[in-house]
Amino acid sequence: MNTSVIIDNNTQNIEDIFIHLKKNATTIKKTSVKERIKKLEKLEHYILDHRDEIHEAIYKDLKKHPVEVDTSEVLTIVGLIRHTKKHLKSWMKPNKVSTPLSMLGTSSYVLHEPKGVCLIIAPWNYPFYLAISPLIYAIAAGNTVAIKPSELSEHTSLYIQKMISMLYSIDEVVVILGGVDVSTTLLKQKFNHIFFTGSSNVGKVVMKAAVNNLASVTLELGGKSPTVICKDADLKDASDKITWGKFLNAGQTCIAPDYALIHKSVEKEFVEQMTNTINEFYSPNGELIKASPDLCRIINKDHFNRLKGLLEDASEKGATIIMNGEMDEATKYMPPTLVTNVTNDMRLMQEEIFGPIYPIKSYDKIEEAFEIIEEKEKPLALYIFAKKKKTIKKVLQNTTAGGTCINETILHINNPDLPFGGINNSGIGKSHGKYGFVGFSNQRAVLKNRVGLTSVKPVYPPYGKLASKLTDFIIKYF
């Protein structure tokens, strides 16, 4: 169990903590598959045995329903742990590779060894899941780890610190609480790998800091994830899936459908359908949506006012706001809101929304949708709603994204055999499953000479005619 308590915003201890983690890294590196699985099992059992406490902490931060905490935080983590336990032995096995004829007499393999001391910096929106899921892979790969959860989700962050202190020693896994000061001090330490989840702007700060120590990075960032709704889409089905994906966590989800591009001929019907679905989900008996226990609140007043500002800007520029109820700043409640008559100059179409507002923009020709997507940064996710295979293929070929669901939203994050992450502005590197394990590992190339001789020996200096003939031969035939 951890013996020292890390006080909020105490940056003085950080250097010492790092030294402890570094000293212990060589021991942790040598841990076996069994030992690492045991560590993951401890985490799994603790989470399952303390679900109520996790529900309570996240409720205090986001007013999130326990079922939503289970589906989007607890079960996802437990699923990733179980998947890792099942596959860790094969991931850790030296990976034999083939030997080219020109290298006769040797054999080669790839060894996955831990990177060493790793830093995980997490955001507030899925405060438990996003701090703990990278930890699974950091542990599986045999690293020592420091975690810095978000200062904005303070109850969950405190809970994570308590949980980790019960499970691991301070020179193995440690949680350091605090804000930008603490993050900045941590980033000055010589971590071998930094796993950052957060905004693209802070991602750049992290990458710049990593350059000083040439630390490798995984950056899980944000951005605008479009939904392309084609004229042949099943509108009822699309409406169900988009309403769920958009208003989950009150839209504060990195892969939430950010805005819709819809064929003009079905726009009106879709907006009506989505308005109905919102009522079916959050007001099944005609009560005020605000009374629904199933909708989260906005994390703080700054974000609430940022969202309000996006709506004011859109309204001033001629948008139609379809708000299902009234906003309430005191309780940070923002109703599920659709916006139509959207133009590209609106902030809603330029900034990541990260809240329960869904702009819907129509197109005549699908190429217009491609143009809108293309002129923005590459998205973390892109969703396609269409029936025809040819249409789906066309959307896939004309766009790019970190991940895509076809006739679905969000769920690609739940398959641990799929890589999760963005591209450029929406992220660098991938996580989940084997990809997560590899992200926290150094893929060490090992070549072994089996017979003493190598086919390369004849080209050692002094370079004579034989060497020159041999290189000619190799260039020609291999």
Which residues are known catalytic residues? 220, 254
Q: Is residue 191 near ligand NAD by the rule CB under 6 A?
A: no
Q: Is residue 125 near ligand NAD by the rule CB under 6 A?
A: yes
Q: Is residue 150 near ligand NAD by the rule CB under 6 A?
A: yes
Q: Which two tokens stand for residue 162?
A: 């308590």
Least separation in angstroms between residue 405's CB and ligand NAD is 15
Choices 16-24, 33-41, 143-151, 281-289; region in contact with ligand NAD by CB under 6 A: 143-151
Q: Is residue 128 near ligand NAD by the rule CB under 6 A?
A: no
Contact predicate 107/448, CB 8 Å: yes
Q: Which two tokens stand for residue 425?
A: 């502005």
Task: Indicate the SS3 state at residue 185.
Answer: helix
Least separation in angstroms between residue 96's CB and ligand NAD is 33
Report which DSSP code applies to 72.
Answer: I
Tokens 């405060």 appear where?
Answer: 127
Which of 221, 289, 296, 357 is the binder for ligand NAD (CB under 6 A)? 221
Choices 96-104, 163-171, 198-206, 316-324; region in contact with ligand NAD by CB under 6 A: 198-206
Least separation in angstroms between residue 347's CB and ligand NAD is 15
**Taking the CB of residue 164, how many other CB atoms lie within 10 A of it?**
23
Tokens 């179980």 appear where?
Answer: 82
Annotate each residue in 251-270 with x if it binds ligand NAD (CB under 6 A) or - if it does not, as one string.
---x----------------
Give dist(CA 78, CA 68) in Å, integer.
15
Least separation in angstroms between residue 399's CB and ligand NAD is 18
Q: How many residues does the chain have?
A: 478
Give dist(CA 388, CA 192) in Å, integer.
47
Which of residues 119 and 266 has its CB atom nearest to ligand NAD in the complex? 119
Which of 37, 40, 91, 123 is the binder for ligand NAD (CB under 6 A)? 123
Which of residues 139 and 256 has its CB atom nearest to ligand NAD in the complex? 256
Least separation in angstroms between residue 413's CB and ligand NAD is 8
Which of residues 21 and 130 has its CB atom nearest to ligand NAD in the complex? 130
Pick out residues in 361-380 that bind ligand NAD (CB under 6 A).
Answer: 380
- Please state, in angstroms and as integers, the Cα–Cα distance from residue 142 to each residue in 37, 94, 338, 400, 440, following that order: 11, 15, 46, 34, 8
- CB-based contacts of 290: which residues, under 8 Å, 6+ apart? 325, 326, 328, 333, 335
Question: Strand pairing partners for 144?
Answer: 117
Q: Is residue 300 near ligand NAD by the rule CB under 6 A?
A: no
Q: Which residues of 167-206 are buried (b: 16+ CB within 10 A; e: fewer)?
A: bbebbbbbbbbbeeebbebbbebebbbbbbbbbbebbebb
Q: Is residue 354 near ligand NAD by the rule CB under 6 A?
A: yes
**Beta strands, E only, 88-185:** 95-97, 106-114, 117-121, 144-148, 173-175
Which of residues 123 and 142 has its CB atom nearest to ligand NAD in the complex? 123
Which of 53, 56, 113, 151 is the binder for ligand NAD (CB under 6 A)? 151
Choices 89-97, 110-118, 194-202, 273-281; region in contact with ligand NAD by CB under 6 A: 194-202
Q: Is residue 175 near ligand NAD by the rule CB under 6 A?
A: no
Nearest to 225 by CA among 382, 437, 104, 349: 382
Q: Which two tokens stand for residue 229?
A: 């709704």
Query: Which one-letter amino acid corresponds to residue 308?
Result: K
Choices 41-49, 145-153, 160-168, 287-295; region in contact with ligand NAD by CB under 6 A: 145-153
Report which DSSP code applies to 24.
Answer: H
HSE (side-chain half, CA atoms, 13 Å) at 133: 31
Which of 179, 284, 458, 464 is the binder for ligand NAD (CB under 6 A)? 179
Annotate each residue in 307-346 with x if it binds ligand NAD (CB under 6 A) or - if it does not, as one string.
----------------------------------------
Tell me the chain's radius of gyration from C-alpha atoms.
25
Q: Is residue 62 near ligand NAD by the rule CB under 6 A?
A: no
Which of 47, 202, 310, 373 is the binder for ligand NAD (CB under 6 A)? 202
Which residues in this chain contact ligand NAD in the complex, by CB under 6 A? 121-125, 130, 148, 150-151, 179-180, 183-184, 197-199, 202, 205, 220-222, 254, 352, 354, 380, 422, 427
